[in-house]
Protein backbone atom coordinates (compact mmCIF):
# COMPACT_ATOMS: atom_id res chain seq x y z
CA UNK A 1 0.00 0.00 0.00
CA UNK A 2 1.30 3.46 -0.85
CA UNK A 3 0.44 6.21 1.60
CA UNK A 4 0.32 9.63 0.07
CA UNK A 5 0.49 12.99 1.79
CA UNK A 6 -1.26 15.49 -0.46
CA UNK A 7 -0.49 19.16 -0.36
CA UNK A 8 -2.35 21.45 2.00
CA UNK A 9 -3.79 23.23 -1.03
CA UNK A 10 -5.11 20.02 -2.59
CA UNK A 11 -6.71 18.87 0.63
CA UNK A 12 -8.23 22.28 1.27
CA UNK A 13 -9.69 22.59 -2.23
CA UNK A 14 -11.15 19.08 -2.31
CA UNK A 15 -12.62 19.23 1.17
CA UNK A 16 -13.97 22.75 0.65
CA UNK A 17 -15.96 21.54 -2.33
CA UNK A 18 -17.31 18.51 -0.43
CA UNK A 19 -18.29 20.64 2.57
CA UNK A 20 -19.86 23.36 0.48
CA UNK A 21 -21.94 20.92 -1.56
CA UNK A 22 -23.07 18.99 1.50
CA UNK A 23 -24.08 22.09 3.45
CA UNK A 24 -25.93 23.60 0.49
CA UNK A 25 -28.03 20.43 0.17
CA UNK A 26 -28.76 20.37 3.92
CA UNK A 27 -29.18 24.08 4.55
CA UNK A 28 -31.97 23.55 7.10
CA UNK A 29 -29.87 21.24 9.27
CA UNK A 30 -28.60 23.59 11.99
CA UNK A 31 -26.60 20.83 13.68
CA UNK A 32 -24.15 20.72 10.77
CA UNK A 33 -22.40 23.83 12.04
CA UNK A 34 -21.79 22.24 15.44
CA UNK A 35 -20.90 18.68 14.50
CA UNK A 36 -19.69 18.72 10.89
CA UNK A 37 -17.97 22.08 10.42
CA UNK A 38 -14.89 21.17 12.54
CA UNK A 39 -14.29 18.07 10.41
CA UNK A 40 -11.24 18.16 8.14
CA UNK A 41 -9.70 15.83 5.58
CA UNK A 42 -6.33 14.82 7.02
CA UNK A 43 -4.93 12.53 4.35
CA UNK A 44 -5.70 9.53 2.17
CA UNK A 45 -4.08 6.23 1.23
CA UNK A 46 -4.39 3.93 -1.77
CA UNK A 47 -4.60 0.13 -1.65
CA UNK A 48 -5.97 -2.77 -3.68
CA UNK A 49 -9.46 -2.22 -2.26
CA UNK A 50 -9.55 1.47 -3.19
CA UNK A 51 -8.80 4.83 -1.62
CA UNK A 52 -9.27 5.47 2.09
CA UNK A 53 -10.05 9.06 3.09
CA UNK A 54 -9.16 9.91 6.70
CA UNK A 55 -11.36 12.58 8.27
CA UNK A 56 -10.28 14.23 11.50
CA UNK A 57 -12.93 15.07 14.11
CA UNK A 58 -12.35 16.81 17.46
CA UNK A 59 -14.13 14.35 19.80
CA UNK A 60 -15.86 10.99 20.08
CA UNK A 61 -19.15 12.88 20.18
CA UNK A 62 -18.46 14.42 16.76
CA UNK A 63 -17.54 11.00 15.39
CA UNK A 64 -20.72 9.44 16.79
CA UNK A 65 -23.02 12.18 15.44
CA UNK A 66 -21.53 12.08 11.94
CA UNK A 67 -21.64 8.25 11.87
CA UNK A 68 -25.29 8.16 12.92
CA UNK A 69 -26.69 11.15 11.03
CA UNK A 70 -24.50 12.15 8.11
CA UNK A 71 -22.26 9.33 6.98
CA UNK A 72 -24.27 8.13 3.96
CA UNK A 73 -24.79 11.66 2.64
CA UNK A 74 -21.12 12.42 3.17
CA UNK A 75 -20.05 9.36 1.16
CA UNK A 76 -22.52 10.25 -1.57
CA UNK A 77 -21.08 13.75 -1.84
CA UNK A 78 -17.51 12.44 -2.03
CA UNK A 79 -18.57 9.98 -4.73
CA UNK A 80 -19.82 12.87 -6.88
CA UNK A 81 -16.20 14.08 -7.09
CA UNK A 82 -14.29 10.82 -6.78
CA UNK A 83 -15.85 8.01 -8.83
CA UNK A 84 -13.47 5.11 -8.02
CA UNK A 85 -13.89 2.77 -5.00
CA UNK A 86 -13.21 4.45 -1.65
CA UNK A 87 -13.77 4.20 2.08
CA UNK A 88 -14.13 6.89 4.72
CA UNK A 89 -12.53 6.64 8.16
CA UNK A 90 -13.35 9.03 11.02
CA UNK A 91 -10.36 9.68 13.29
CA UNK A 92 -10.59 11.48 16.66
CA UNK A 93 -7.81 14.06 16.78
CA UNK A 94 -8.69 15.83 20.02
CA UNK A 95 -8.46 19.17 18.24
CA UNK A 96 -9.36 20.96 15.04
CA UNK A 97 -8.01 18.51 12.48
CA UNK A 98 -5.32 19.78 10.13
CA UNK A 99 -2.63 18.38 7.88
CA UNK A 100 0.64 17.75 9.69
CA UNK A 101 3.30 16.53 7.24
CA UNK A 102 6.38 14.73 8.50
CA UNK A 103 8.63 17.73 7.85
CA UNK A 104 8.59 21.23 6.29
CA UNK A 105 10.60 19.85 3.40
CA UNK A 106 7.99 17.13 2.82
CA UNK A 107 5.23 19.74 2.74
CA UNK A 108 7.08 21.92 0.26
CA UNK A 109 7.76 18.94 -1.98
CA UNK A 110 4.15 17.81 -1.74
CA UNK A 111 2.81 21.27 -2.58
CA UNK A 112 4.85 21.24 -5.75
CA UNK A 113 3.44 17.89 -6.83
CA UNK A 114 -0.10 17.42 -5.50
CA UNK A 115 -3.10 19.29 -6.89
CA UNK A 116 -6.86 19.26 -6.51
CA UNK A 117 -7.05 17.13 -9.66
CA UNK A 118 -4.89 14.50 -7.94
CA UNK A 119 -7.39 14.34 -5.10
CA UNK A 120 -10.32 13.48 -7.35
CA UNK A 121 -8.41 11.29 -9.79
CA UNK A 122 -7.73 7.59 -9.09
CA UNK A 123 -4.00 6.81 -8.73
CA UNK A 124 -2.31 5.52 -11.88
CA UNK A 125 -1.73 2.74 -12.21
CA UNK A 126 -4.50 1.56 -9.92
CA UNK A 127 -3.83 -1.96 -8.56
CA UNK A 128 -7.54 -2.84 -8.48
CA UNK A 129 -8.72 -1.04 -11.60
CA UNK A 130 -11.78 -3.15 -12.44
CA UNK A 131 -14.37 -0.42 -12.70
CA UNK A 132 -15.79 -1.02 -9.21
CA UNK A 133 -18.12 1.63 -7.84
CA UNK A 134 -18.77 0.44 -4.33
CA UNK A 135 -18.09 2.02 -0.98
CA UNK A 136 -18.51 -1.16 1.03
CA UNK A 137 -17.94 -0.97 4.75
CA UNK A 138 -15.29 -3.54 5.78
CA UNK A 139 -16.91 -3.78 9.24
CA UNK A 140 -20.19 -5.14 7.83
CA UNK A 141 -19.56 -8.85 7.31
CA UNK A 142 -21.43 -12.08 8.03
CA UNK A 143 -19.12 -12.67 10.98
CA UNK A 144 -20.19 -9.39 12.61
CA UNK A 145 -23.91 -9.96 11.99
CA UNK A 146 -25.75 -11.35 15.03
CA UNK A 147 -28.29 -13.95 13.88
CA UNK A 148 -31.59 -14.53 15.68
CA UNK A 149 -35.06 -15.84 14.94
CA UNK A 150 -36.07 -12.47 13.49
CA UNK A 151 -33.40 -12.42 10.75
CA UNK A 152 -32.11 -15.97 10.28
CA UNK A 153 -33.88 -16.48 6.95
CA UNK A 154 -32.57 -13.19 5.52
CA UNK A 155 -29.06 -14.04 6.76
CA UNK A 156 -29.18 -17.52 5.22
CA UNK A 157 -30.47 -16.20 1.88
CA UNK A 158 -27.76 -13.51 1.73
CA UNK A 159 -25.00 -15.98 2.62
CA UNK A 160 -26.18 -18.45 -0.03
CA UNK A 161 -26.13 -15.71 -2.65
CA UNK A 162 -22.68 -14.53 -1.57
CA UNK A 163 -21.43 -18.12 -1.96
CA UNK A 164 -23.10 -18.58 -5.35
CA UNK A 165 -24.00 -15.25 -6.99
CA UNK A 166 -26.58 -15.48 -9.75
CA UNK A 167 -28.26 -18.64 -8.36
CA UNK A 168 -31.62 -19.24 -10.00
CA UNK A 169 -34.52 -18.59 -7.64
CA UNK A 170 -32.46 -16.15 -5.57
CA UNK A 171 -32.17 -13.46 -8.22
CA UNK A 172 -33.13 -10.83 -7.38
CA UNK A 173 -33.01 -11.01 -3.59
CA UNK A 174 -35.26 -8.43 -1.94
CA UNK A 175 -34.41 -7.68 1.71
CA UNK A 176 -37.32 -6.00 3.49
CA UNK A 177 -37.65 -4.64 7.00
CA UNK A 178 -38.13 -1.49 9.10
CA UNK A 179 -35.42 1.15 9.35
CA UNK A 180 -32.43 0.22 11.48
CA UNK A 181 -32.84 -3.58 11.39
CA UNK A 182 -29.62 -4.53 9.58
CA UNK A 183 -30.56 -4.44 5.89
CA UNK A 184 -27.54 -2.30 4.99
CA UNK A 185 -25.30 -4.61 7.04
CA UNK A 186 -26.46 -7.62 5.02
CA UNK A 187 -25.99 -5.81 1.69
CA UNK A 188 -22.40 -4.97 2.64
CA UNK A 189 -21.81 -8.49 3.95
CA UNK A 190 -22.85 -9.93 0.58
CA UNK A 191 -20.48 -7.58 -1.23
CA UNK A 192 -17.55 -8.21 1.11
CA UNK A 193 -17.99 -11.99 0.95
CA UNK A 194 -18.21 -12.02 -2.85
CA UNK A 195 -15.13 -9.81 -3.08
CA UNK A 196 -13.17 -12.16 -0.86
CA UNK A 197 -14.27 -15.35 -2.62
CA UNK A 198 -14.51 -14.02 -6.20
CA UNK A 199 -12.20 -10.98 -6.42
CA UNK A 200 -12.60 -10.85 -10.20
CA UNK A 201 -16.30 -9.95 -9.91
CA UNK A 202 -17.09 -6.22 -10.18
CA UNK A 203 -19.40 -5.00 -7.43
CA UNK A 204 -21.64 -1.95 -7.54
CA UNK A 205 -23.00 -0.96 -4.13
CA UNK A 206 -25.08 2.22 -3.96
CA UNK A 207 -28.36 3.70 -2.81
CA UNK A 208 -31.31 4.05 -5.18
CA UNK A 209 -31.13 7.79 -4.52
CA UNK A 210 -27.60 7.88 -5.92
CA UNK A 211 -28.68 5.81 -8.95
CA UNK A 212 -31.53 8.26 -9.50
CA UNK A 213 -29.28 11.34 -9.21
CA UNK A 214 -26.62 9.89 -11.51
CA UNK A 215 -29.24 8.96 -14.09
CA UNK A 216 -30.81 12.42 -14.07
CA UNK A 217 -27.38 14.04 -14.31
CA UNK A 218 -26.44 11.78 -17.24
CA UNK A 219 -29.67 12.64 -19.06
CA UNK A 220 -29.00 16.37 -18.66
CA UNK A 221 -25.42 16.01 -19.90
CA UNK A 222 -26.31 13.70 -22.78
CA UNK A 223 -24.10 10.95 -21.31
CA UNK A 224 -26.56 8.07 -21.04
CA UNK A 225 -24.29 5.68 -22.91
CA UNK A 226 -21.63 6.18 -20.25
CA UNK A 227 -24.23 5.63 -17.55
CA UNK A 228 -25.46 2.39 -19.13
CA UNK A 229 -21.91 1.17 -19.68
CA UNK A 230 -21.10 1.82 -16.02
CA UNK A 231 -23.91 -0.35 -14.67
CA UNK A 232 -24.61 -2.85 -17.43
CA UNK A 233 -21.13 -3.60 -18.76
CA UNK A 234 -18.80 -2.85 -15.85
CA UNK A 235 -20.78 -4.45 -13.03
CA UNK A 236 -21.31 -8.13 -12.15
CA UNK A 237 -23.12 -7.74 -8.82
CA UNK A 238 -25.61 -4.93 -8.14
CA UNK A 239 -26.35 -4.11 -4.48
CA UNK A 240 -28.90 -1.32 -4.08
CA UNK A 241 -30.20 0.15 -0.82
CA UNK A 242 -33.39 2.18 -0.19
CA UNK A 243 -35.03 0.98 -3.41
CA UNK A 244 -38.20 2.99 -2.68
CA UNK A 245 -36.44 6.10 -4.07
CA UNK A 246 -36.98 4.79 -7.59
CA UNK A 247 -40.70 5.54 -7.27
CA UNK A 248 -39.87 9.24 -7.67
CA UNK A 249 -38.72 9.24 -11.29
CA UNK A 250 -40.30 7.75 -14.41
CA UNK A 251 -37.25 8.13 -16.66
CA UNK A 252 -35.04 6.56 -14.00
CA UNK A 253 -37.41 3.60 -13.68
CA UNK A 254 -37.10 3.02 -17.42
CA UNK A 255 -33.32 2.74 -17.09
CA UNK A 256 -33.52 0.61 -13.97
CA UNK A 257 -35.95 -1.79 -15.65
CA UNK A 258 -33.60 -2.36 -18.58
CA UNK A 259 -30.64 -2.64 -16.21
CA UNK A 260 -32.47 -5.38 -14.28
CA UNK A 261 -33.28 -7.24 -17.50
CA UNK A 262 -29.66 -7.02 -18.59
CA UNK A 263 -28.46 -8.48 -15.28
CA UNK A 264 -30.97 -11.34 -15.36
CA UNK A 265 -30.20 -12.23 -18.99
CA UNK A 266 -26.48 -12.45 -18.17
CA UNK A 267 -27.03 -14.38 -14.94
CA UNK A 268 -25.61 -11.58 -12.78
CA UNK A 269 -26.76 -11.10 -9.21
CA UNK A 270 -29.03 -8.30 -7.97
CA UNK A 271 -29.74 -7.64 -4.27
CA UNK A 272 -31.93 -4.74 -3.16
CA UNK A 273 -33.23 -3.54 0.21
CA UNK A 274 -36.26 -1.53 1.28
CA UNK A 275 -38.38 -0.76 4.33
CA UNK A 276 -41.49 -2.03 2.52
CA UNK A 277 -42.53 -4.76 0.12
CA UNK A 278 -42.35 -4.14 -3.66
CA UNK A 279 -46.13 -3.86 -4.00
CA UNK A 280 -46.20 -1.18 -1.28
CA UNK A 281 -43.65 1.14 -2.91
CA UNK A 282 -45.68 4.06 -4.19
CA UNK A 283 -45.00 5.22 -7.73
CA UNK A 284 -43.13 2.04 -8.68
CA UNK A 285 -44.08 0.70 -12.10
CA UNK A 286 -45.78 -2.70 -12.22
CA UNK A 287 -43.16 -4.18 -14.53
CA UNK A 288 -40.40 -3.34 -12.01
CA UNK A 289 -42.51 -4.55 -9.11
CA UNK A 290 -43.07 -7.92 -10.74
CA UNK A 291 -39.36 -8.21 -11.55
CA UNK A 292 -38.45 -7.57 -7.92
CA UNK A 293 -41.01 -10.16 -6.78
CA UNK A 294 -39.65 -12.64 -9.30
CA UNK A 295 -36.87 -13.90 -7.06
CA UNK A 296 -36.76 -14.25 -3.27
CA UNK A 297 -38.09 -11.87 -0.61
CA UNK A 298 -36.46 -12.04 2.84
CA UNK A 299 -38.15 -10.20 5.71
CA UNK A 300 -36.44 -8.80 8.84
CA UNK A 301 -38.30 -7.77 11.98
CA UNK A 302 -37.31 -6.31 15.34
CA UNK A 303 -35.26 -8.85 17.35
CA UNK A 304 -36.67 -10.33 20.53
CA UNK A 305 -35.20 -9.65 23.96
CA UNK A 306 -32.82 -12.61 23.82
CA UNK A 307 -31.32 -11.51 20.52
CA UNK A 308 -31.04 -7.88 21.61
CA UNK A 309 -29.01 -9.03 24.62
CA UNK A 310 -26.76 -11.09 22.32
CA UNK A 311 -26.24 -8.10 20.02
CA UNK A 312 -25.31 -5.88 22.97
CA UNK A 313 -22.85 -8.43 24.30
CA UNK A 314 -21.18 -8.64 20.91
CA UNK A 315 -21.02 -4.86 20.50
CA UNK A 316 -19.64 -4.42 24.01
CA UNK A 317 -16.98 -7.06 23.44
CA UNK A 318 -15.97 -5.42 20.19
CA UNK A 319 -15.51 -2.09 22.03
CA UNK A 320 -13.65 -3.76 24.93
CA UNK A 321 -16.41 -2.69 27.33
CA UNK A 322 -17.09 -4.47 30.60
CA UNK A 323 -20.82 -4.21 31.27
CA UNK A 324 -22.62 -6.19 33.97
CA UNK A 325 -25.50 -8.39 32.92
CA UNK A 326 -28.16 -6.29 34.65
CA UNK A 327 -27.04 -3.20 32.71
CA UNK A 328 -27.05 -5.16 29.43
CA UNK A 329 -30.57 -6.43 30.18
CA UNK A 330 -31.78 -2.91 30.98
CA UNK A 331 -30.42 -1.39 27.74
CA UNK A 332 -31.89 -4.28 25.72
CA UNK A 333 -35.29 -3.94 27.41
CA UNK A 334 -35.72 -0.22 26.68
CA UNK A 335 -34.25 -0.34 23.14
CA UNK A 336 -37.29 -1.66 21.29
CA UNK A 337 -37.44 0.43 18.13
CA UNK A 338 -34.45 -0.78 16.11
CA UNK A 339 -30.96 -2.23 16.24
CA UNK A 340 -29.73 1.26 15.47
CA UNK A 341 -31.37 2.53 18.65
CA UNK A 342 -29.87 -0.39 20.57
CA UNK A 343 -26.34 0.45 19.44
CA UNK A 344 -26.96 4.17 19.90
CA UNK A 345 -27.94 3.66 23.54
CA UNK A 346 -24.82 1.57 24.13
CA UNK A 347 -22.69 4.34 22.59
CA UNK A 348 -24.32 6.95 24.82
CA UNK A 349 -23.49 4.97 27.94
CA UNK A 350 -19.94 4.34 26.69
CA UNK A 351 -19.27 8.02 25.94
CA UNK A 352 -20.72 9.21 29.24
CA UNK A 353 -18.57 6.67 31.08
CA UNK A 354 -15.42 7.84 29.31
CA UNK A 355 -16.15 11.56 29.69
CA UNK A 356 -17.05 11.34 33.38
CA UNK A 357 -14.64 8.57 34.33
CA UNK A 358 -17.39 6.37 35.80
CA UNK A 359 -17.56 2.58 35.65
CA UNK A 360 -20.44 1.25 33.58
CA UNK A 361 -23.15 -0.31 35.72
CA UNK A 362 -26.94 -0.44 35.94
CA UNK A 363 -27.17 2.84 37.85
CA UNK A 364 -25.10 4.68 35.24
CA UNK A 365 -27.13 3.19 32.36
CA UNK A 366 -30.38 4.35 33.96
CA UNK A 367 -28.96 7.84 34.56
CA UNK A 368 -27.77 8.26 30.97
CA UNK A 369 -30.88 6.76 29.39
CA UNK A 370 -33.42 8.27 31.77
CA UNK A 371 -35.42 9.72 28.85
CA UNK A 372 -36.43 6.14 28.05
CA UNK A 373 -39.33 5.57 30.41
CA UNK A 374 -39.27 1.87 31.19
CA UNK A 375 -42.99 1.87 31.99
CA UNK A 376 -44.32 4.03 29.15
CA UNK A 377 -44.50 1.84 26.09
CA UNK A 378 -45.17 4.29 23.27
CA UNK A 379 -46.17 7.94 22.89
CA UNK A 380 -48.36 9.98 20.56
CA UNK A 381 -45.21 11.37 18.97
CA UNK A 382 -43.90 7.84 18.36
CA UNK A 383 -47.05 6.84 16.49
CA UNK A 384 -47.04 10.07 14.48
CA UNK A 385 -43.46 9.40 13.44
CA UNK A 386 -44.23 5.80 12.49
CA UNK A 387 -47.18 6.88 10.34
CA UNK A 388 -45.32 9.78 8.71
CA UNK A 389 -42.43 7.43 7.87
CA UNK A 390 -44.80 4.80 6.45
CA UNK A 391 -46.68 7.25 4.22
CA UNK A 392 -43.62 9.36 3.37
CA UNK A 393 -45.05 12.59 4.74
CA UNK A 394 -43.78 15.01 7.36
CA UNK A 395 -45.07 15.00 10.93
CA UNK A 396 -45.59 18.76 10.70
CA UNK A 397 -47.92 18.20 7.74
CA UNK A 398 -49.96 15.68 9.74
CA UNK A 399 -50.69 18.53 12.14
CA UNK A 400 -51.45 21.06 9.41
CA UNK A 401 -54.73 22.02 7.74
CA UNK A 402 -53.64 20.48 4.44
CA UNK A 403 -56.50 18.40 3.01
CA UNK A 404 -54.69 16.57 0.20
CA UNK A 405 -55.77 12.94 -0.03
CA UNK A 406 -52.45 11.31 1.00
CA UNK A 407 -52.21 13.55 4.05
CA UNK A 408 -55.84 13.04 5.06
CA UNK A 409 -55.39 9.26 4.95
CA UNK A 410 -52.16 9.38 6.94
CA UNK A 411 -53.70 11.76 9.50
CA UNK A 412 -56.79 9.57 9.98
CA UNK A 413 -54.69 6.41 10.34
CA UNK A 414 -52.51 8.13 12.95
CA UNK A 415 -55.57 9.20 14.94
CA UNK A 416 -57.01 5.69 14.73
CA UNK A 417 -53.79 4.04 15.97
CA UNK A 418 -53.38 6.55 18.80
CA UNK A 419 -56.91 5.89 20.00
CA UNK A 420 -56.41 2.14 19.71
CA UNK A 421 -53.08 1.95 21.51
CA UNK A 422 -53.13 4.84 23.97
CA UNK A 423 -55.52 6.00 26.68
CA UNK A 424 -56.16 9.40 25.11
CA UNK A 425 -59.41 11.34 24.89
CA UNK A 426 -60.76 12.69 21.61
CA UNK A 427 -59.91 16.23 22.73
CA UNK A 428 -56.32 15.23 23.56
CA UNK A 429 -55.90 13.53 20.18
CA UNK A 430 -57.26 16.56 18.34
CA UNK A 431 -54.86 18.81 20.25
CA UNK A 432 -51.92 16.68 19.07
CA UNK A 433 -52.88 17.36 15.45
CA UNK A 434 -52.72 21.14 15.43
CA UNK A 435 -55.79 21.74 17.59
CA UNK A 436 -58.30 19.76 15.53
CA UNK A 437 -61.85 19.65 16.91
CA UNK A 438 -62.94 16.42 18.62
CA UNK A 439 -65.61 15.93 15.93
CA UNK A 440 -62.81 15.76 13.35
CA UNK A 441 -61.25 12.94 15.35
CA UNK A 442 -64.61 11.14 15.59
CA UNK A 443 -65.08 11.35 11.82
CA UNK A 444 -61.54 10.06 11.26
CA UNK A 445 -62.09 7.05 13.52
CA UNK A 446 -65.43 6.21 11.91
CA UNK A 447 -64.03 6.47 8.42
CA UNK A 448 -61.06 4.18 9.16
CA UNK A 449 -63.26 1.61 10.87
CA UNK A 450 -65.76 1.61 8.02
CA UNK A 451 -63.05 1.25 5.36
CA UNK A 452 -61.07 -1.55 7.04
CA UNK A 453 -63.37 -4.27 5.68
CA UNK A 454 -63.54 -2.69 2.22
CA UNK A 455 -60.05 -1.32 1.53
CA UNK A 456 -57.41 -4.07 1.57
CA UNK A 457 -54.57 -1.54 1.11
CA UNK A 458 -55.69 0.46 4.14
CA UNK A 459 -55.99 -2.71 6.23
CA UNK A 460 -52.50 -3.76 5.19
CA UNK A 461 -51.08 -0.34 6.11
CA UNK A 462 -52.66 -0.48 9.56
CA UNK A 463 -51.59 -4.10 10.13
CA UNK A 464 -47.98 -3.23 9.25
CA UNK A 465 -48.01 -0.18 11.49
CA UNK A 466 -49.50 -2.21 14.32
CA UNK A 467 -46.65 -4.71 13.96
CA UNK A 468 -44.15 -1.87 14.26
CA UNK A 469 -45.95 -0.60 17.37
CA UNK A 470 -45.76 -4.13 18.77
CA UNK A 471 -42.02 -4.20 18.06
CA UNK A 472 -41.69 -1.09 20.23
CA UNK A 473 -44.02 -2.03 23.06
CA UNK A 474 -43.48 -5.75 23.13
CA UNK A 475 -47.18 -6.27 23.89
Query: What is the reported pLDDT for 94?
Result: 72
Roughly how many angstroms between the first and final C-alpha of the chain, as a whole number? 53
Query: What is the reported pLDDT for 197?
Result: 93
Q: How many CB atoms lie within 10 A of CB 199?
A: 12
Give the chain's mean pLDDT.
Answer: 81
141 in a structural domain: no
The better pLDDT of the pair 33, 204 is held by 204
Query: What is the reported pLDDT for 17?
Result: 84
The better pLDDT of the pair 2, 462 is held by 462
Q: At what angle do helices 8-25 and 104-113 cross, to 10 degrees?
A: 70
- What is the per-residue pLDDT across 76-113, written as a single tens digit (0 to 9) for each? 788 777 767 778 888 888 754 333 333 333 333 433 34
Query: What is the reported pLDDT for 177?
Result: 87
Query: What is the reported pLDDT for 473?
Result: 65
Query: What is the reported pLDDT for 128?
Result: 37
pLDDT above 60 for 127: no
The better pLDDT of the pair 223, 84 is held by 223
* Mean pLDDT in residue range 304-323: 87
* Mean pLDDT in residue range 124-144: 62
**Residue ranges of E strands in 255-373:** 269-274, 296-299
**Pick from 269, 109, 258: which is nearest to 195 by CA?**
269
393 in a structural domain: yes
342 in a structural domain: yes
**Residue ranges of E strands in 264-377:** 269-274, 296-299
Task: Tally the domains of the chain.
Answer: 4
DSSP string, 106-150: HHHHHHHH--HHHHHS--SS-TT-S-------TT--STTPPP-TT
Q: Same structural domain for residues 320 and 283?
A: no
Q: Same structural domain for residues 409 and 323?
A: no
Q: Same structural domain for residues 335 and 424?
A: no
For residue 390, what is the enclosing H or E element?
Answer: helix 380-391
* Mean pLDDT in residue range 237-241: 94
Q: What CATH number does the domain containing 201 carry?
A: 3.40.50.300
* Mean pLDDT in residue range 27-36: 74
375 in a structural domain: no
Q: What CATH number does the domain containing 25 carry?
A: 3.30.300.180
Contact predicate 247/275, CB 8 Å: no
Query: What is the reported pLDDT for 422?
Result: 87
Q: What CATH number does the domain containing 468 carry?
A: 1.10.1750.10
What is the pLDDT confidence band of residue 8, given thresholds at 50, 70 and 90?
A: low
306 in a structural domain: no
Q: Same structural domain for residues 360 and 384?
A: no
For the chain, helix (H) and strand (E) counts, in that order, are 22, 9
Query: What is the reported pLDDT for 37?
Result: 85
Q: Same structural domain for residues 358 and 387?
A: no
What is the pLDDT confidence band of residue 354, given thresholds at 50, 70 and 90?
A: confident
The gap from C-alpha 40 to its chain's centroid, in whole angstroms, comes to 23
Length of the chain: 475
47 in a structural domain: yes
Contact predicate 160/167, CB 8 Å: yes
Query: What is the reported pLDDT for 173?
Result: 95
Q: Same structural domain for residues 276 and 188?
A: yes
Q: Same structural domain for residues 239 and 275?
A: yes
209 in a structural domain: yes
* Mean pLDDT in residue range 5-23: 71
- What is the per-residue pLDDT across 253-280, written as a single tens digit (0 to 9) for each? 999 999 999 999 999 999 999 988 888 8
pLDDT above 80 for 144: yes
The better pLDDT of the pair 107, 150 is held by 150
Q: Same structural domain for residues 356 and 222?
A: no
Where among 69, 98, 120 does a domain terminate? 120
What is the pLDDT confidence band of residue 205, given thresholds at 50, 70 and 90?
A: very high
What is the pLDDT confidence band of residue 12, given thresholds at 50, 70 and 90?
A: low
Query: What is the reported pLDDT for 201?
Result: 92
Q: Same structural domain for residues 216 and 169?
A: yes
Where among 368, 390, 412 does a domain terminate? 368
Which residues constitute the domain of residue 216? Answer: 152-299
* Mean pLDDT in residue range 428-439: 90
Query: What is the reported pLDDT for 134?
Result: 52
- What is the per-residue pLDDT across 373-430, written as a single tens digit (0 to 9) for each? 554 467 898 899 889 888 888 888 898 888 888 899 999 999 999 998 888 899 999 9
Where among 252, 275, 299 does a domain terminate? 299
Q: Same structural domain for residues 113 and 48?
A: yes
Q: Same structural domain for residues 338 and 293?
A: no
As a whole-number percent, the residues of the chain with pLDDT over 90 amount to: 29
Query: What is the reported pLDDT for 96?
Result: 44
Q: Same structural domain for residues 359 and 390?
A: no
CA-only gyration radius of the chain, Å? 24
Angstrom distance (rounded) from CA 48 to CA 193: 16
144 in a structural domain: no
pLDDT above 60 for 356: yes
Amino acid sequence: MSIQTPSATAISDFWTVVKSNLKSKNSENKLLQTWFEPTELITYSDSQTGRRFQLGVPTELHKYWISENLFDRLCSEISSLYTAPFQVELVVTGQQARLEPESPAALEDAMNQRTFADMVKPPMPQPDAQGRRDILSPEYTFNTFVVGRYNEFAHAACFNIAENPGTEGYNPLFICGPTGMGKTHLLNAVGNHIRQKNPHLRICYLSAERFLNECISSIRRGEMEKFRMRYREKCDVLLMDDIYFLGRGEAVQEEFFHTLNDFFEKGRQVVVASDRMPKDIKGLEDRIRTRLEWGLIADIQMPDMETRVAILRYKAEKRNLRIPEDAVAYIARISKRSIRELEGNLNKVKMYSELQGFEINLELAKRVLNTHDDTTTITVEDIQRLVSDHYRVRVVDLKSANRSKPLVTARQVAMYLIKKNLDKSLVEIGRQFGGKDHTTVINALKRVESQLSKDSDLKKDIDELQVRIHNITGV
